Structure 1
Amino acid sequence: MTHEISDPPKPPKTALRARWNKVPDVTVYFWIIKVLCTTVGETAADLLDQNAGLGLTGVSLLMSGLLAVVLVVQFRTRAYRAGVYWLAVALISVVGTLISDNLTDNMGVPLEVSTTVFALALAVVFVVWYRREGTLSIHRVDTTSREAYYWLAVLFTFALGTAAGDLVSERMNLGYWFAALLFAVAIAAVAVAHRALGLDAVWSFWIAYVLTRPLGASIGDYLSQPTGDGGLGLGTIITSALFLTVILALVSHLATTRKDTAAREAPPGRQGAGRP
């Protein structure tokens, strides 16, 4: 009696797409590290500008070069890697801040103009992304083109958040701590609108993603700026080192436990449940 040997069944296409998604699941860890990275983006940009001796333009070119190298590594990975991904986010936070600062400080572009330009640029990215790919969901960043749109959108969210945050803080003269509270309330309102009022999950994510930038910047300024200017006076070095240490600890934890990829590694029948 002979037994026919057949190849094992292939997993469904949706499972493969989830498995090779190049970005993490949106968990509480995601938002914590995102805010920490935005804080570092603000304080590290100030630190480099003040101490590197390269000037704002030189620092911008240097950090853009480092970002390009890390993004090449990110694109070449076959799947999400916590260390590479969050290093790219931290660097893009710095670069996004420097782009906005260059327009304001070096070129004299009013914050109203830069905020509008970045908002329009982000809108264009979303329109092209959706028309080409049919989705803006970060749970389906599983092709090179989608990843390119994703990182371009992330860059503009940081630049937009920097310009809009500076505009609100300067025009309303809120102070660092009150500004942070205002943006935190705005993020909470988006969460409530999503949970209770049915605001689309994808748009809820991207709106909150933009708002975390001025939230983190306000926190960073509050901790680092002199007490005479309304801060705690910790300085950019201590503040940057403190937040980088926490980021490193959290990313190391995620790389070990893989808690930010738990949903895609669930049994096939449960993968992607309830997600856009």
Structure 2
Amino acid sequence: MSQLTKFCLVLIVLCALVFWNNPASATSENEDMPNLLQVNAWNANFGTSENYVEDSYKDFINTFPKGHVDKLKDSAGNVAGIVFYYYDQSSKGYGALYYDSTGKKMSPGCSNDLIFYDNYKGNGSSTTEEVKDDTQEENSEDESDEEVTDDTGTTYNDLLDVLEEDDTNEKGFSSSKECAKSLINGLPDRFRKDAVLVKATFKATGSTGKHLIRHCAGIETSDEGLVYIDSYSGKAGNGIDKRVTVLKAGQKWKAESACKSCSGDETGRYNRGKVLKVQEMDL
């Protein structure tokens, strides 16, 4: 065998090994998981239960046999919550929704001191697959609709869906800057990659001299361009996301509700007065 032939064989083997171990294969496996819309629809249909963690765990697996789910417990062994995973196109290839033992959504940060257990990663068992196959034809139209409305878009309405799931406005922050940075860092990659931190200096209505500063998030959308989101935090869950519709030096700051689950606030009580300067800042 010639040296050239040997070299070619070695090269082919190396290429095959690289392909086999490519991390993208893990991402492709995640594509069998339900997407965010499907998980949210399932959870809304499931509702509440006296034994939420155990009952939702079983129902999630029955509904999504190739889904991923974890239970959570505290250091004393008490059941504390559950995590449902969904497929997305981020670098990780998945996202996660956290709920406590009563079925109330909680922040991922609240799970730092909890223990993950009873991890289920879809095994596609024959019994579950048979149930899925029996209903495949009946639900084909619904599945097609879900594919069309996947959570990968970047329109303003897609952003509103993201804000609906985001809990930044339920937390307390020391400043509007920290609140805006938290909102940006919590965005999915498709929005976060082009997002900017915006600093607005303005003179509030009725002010006699002192200038005020407010930070908000500038988020690029495919249909309405750059939009400004001002997240008002509230420790009691009474925060609200505002879209700043006018943010230009020399004009009055104008905002409206951008949060489906919050009050409309059509009166614009958060309007800030005349804008003096607008700057994009480093995160």
TM-score tier by shorter-chain length is: under 0.3
TM-score w.r.t. the length of structure 1 is: 0.26
Of structures 1 and 2, the larger Rg is shown by: 2
* Higher relative contact order, structure no. (Cα contacts within 8 Å, ≥ 6 residues apart): 1
Higher normalized strand content (fraction of residues): 2
Bigger helix share? 1
